[in-house]
């Protein structure tokens, strides 16, 4: 649920929106961020954007990240309608088990990527308690992951990859067997990453 509020700029009559994103349980999501008001036009802006991700490449990249974790391996991804189906081998007390689930309601807000975990099951279709997946993810103790236990919500912090100057939000997702199509809504780039306003050298004096 998204709650919108208005704040007034003290130097003008323009109102700028802020967005507070909450989970269904009422807890405030780590996505929660105040949208910085713009007093000048951004460097670039767009009304919509379609991105197609190749799941073979994405699998290989994520496998590289998992290579340091002995308890997770052999990740596979498949597009599944409005979701991304994932299967991974989980090693618990030395015993490997193949676990699958769907990552649905994929959204990007303020450089955080959120999913709702859906239909967790073991190999053969045996249902797996979602709480077991949640506590397993929390046990990874990754600074990039935030797990909302009881809500089935997983949030990935992408701020080290997406610059703060970029405002980009996912509207909808459509998966095919080996690709994931992502449609973004209106967004903008405030400035070139890491480039602020030009400043005079500290040694410069006014004449």
How far apart CA 160 and CA 121 sit, in angstroms, is 32
Residue 52 β-bridge partners: 181
Which sequence spans correspond to the domains of the chain?
A: 40-189
The pTM score is 0.68
pLDDT in tens, 60-103: 998 888 888 788 888 999 998 999 999 998 887 788 889 999 99
Q: Are 21 and 109 in contact (CB under 8 A)?
A: yes
Find, among 44, 49, 47, the residue nearest to 186 by Cα: 47
Percentage of residues of the chain with pLDDT beyond 70:
75
């Amino acid at each position: 649920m998204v709650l919108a509020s208005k704040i007034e700029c003290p130097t003008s009559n323009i109102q700028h929106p802020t967005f507070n994103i909450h989970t269904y349980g009422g807890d405030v999501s780590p996505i929660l961020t105040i949208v910085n008001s713009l007093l000048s036009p951004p460097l670039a802006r767009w009304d919509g954007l379609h991105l197609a991700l190749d799941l073979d490449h994405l699998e290989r990249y994520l496998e590289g990240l998992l290579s340091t974790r002995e308890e997770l391996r052999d990740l596979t991804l498949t597009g599944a309608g409005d979701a991304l189906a994932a299967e991974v081998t989980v090693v618990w007390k030395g015993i490997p088990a193949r676990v699958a689930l769907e990552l649905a309601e994929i959204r990007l807000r303020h450089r955080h990527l959120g999913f709702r975990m859906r239909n967790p099951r073991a190999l053969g279709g045996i249902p797996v308690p979602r709480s077991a997946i949640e506590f397993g993810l929390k046990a990874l103790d990754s600074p990039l992951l935030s797990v909302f236990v009881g809500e089935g919500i997983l949030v990935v912090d992408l701020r080290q990859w997406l610059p703060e100057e970029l405002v980009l939000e996912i509207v909808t997702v459509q998966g095919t067997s080996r690709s994931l199509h992502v449609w973004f809504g209106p967004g903008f780039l405030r400035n070139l990453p890491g480039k602020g306003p030009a400043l005079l050298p500290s040694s410069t004096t006014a004449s």
